Amino acid sequence: MRPKQVFVANHTSMIDFIVLEQMTAFALIMQKHPGWVGLVQRIILESVGGIWFNRSEAKDREAVAKKLKDHIEGTGNNSLLIFPEGTCVNNNYTVMFKKGAFELGCTVCPVAIKYNKIFVDAFWNSRKQSFTKHLLQLMTSWAVVCNVWYLEPQTIRPGETPIEFAERVRDAISKRAGLKKVPWDGYLKYSRPSPKQMEEK
């Protein structure tokens, strides 16, 4: 653990944070949630230095970018954990990483997470299942089996763009966890393909 670094990981479930928190106290950047998840955010995750945002507010993005930089520059802050996919993915693939974590001018520490589905599938499909049901499913399963690899820290190379840097880190995470890289944004899961696209496929 060193100053001016962020940890980035692929994202399968909201329990990813709990799994990684076993090593050290991470500060988390996370979308604001309603209900009891929001309550956990405000009461528990605030204590480790969480940064919250609203996806729908463009002004929020600028404020969050500033908070991220301030957090990294600050002394005594917990290391920042970012899930650059921006959404939960089914742990078979990695989708495009958002570039925000890769343009902060700091060291990026990649973390690869791979769940073993032998007892339960840890993927949270928020379109089909509430987080309460998802959590109950995990807690009532025999075990949640997960492998975590902390990879070599990376810095942006001369002449490399933040997007290229993000892709290089995604390559390393995908390779280590045995995940297939796909060239689309994770929010594609919230929209249906057109009949023409389906016909072509």
Domain tally, the chain: 1
Q: Evaluate whether residue 48 is within a structural domain.
A: yes
pLDDT, residue 157, reads 95
pLDDT tens digits for 24-54? 888 877 666 667 666 666 666 666 666 766 6
CB 186 within 8 A of CB 86: yes
- Tell me if 78 is assigned to some domain: yes
Q: Determine, yes or no, domain membership for 96.
A: yes
Asked if the structure places residue 73 within a domain, the reply is yes
User: What pTM did the predictor assign?
Assistant: 0.81
Answer whether residue 142 is part of any domain.
no
Domain residues for 192?
Answer: 5-114+147-197
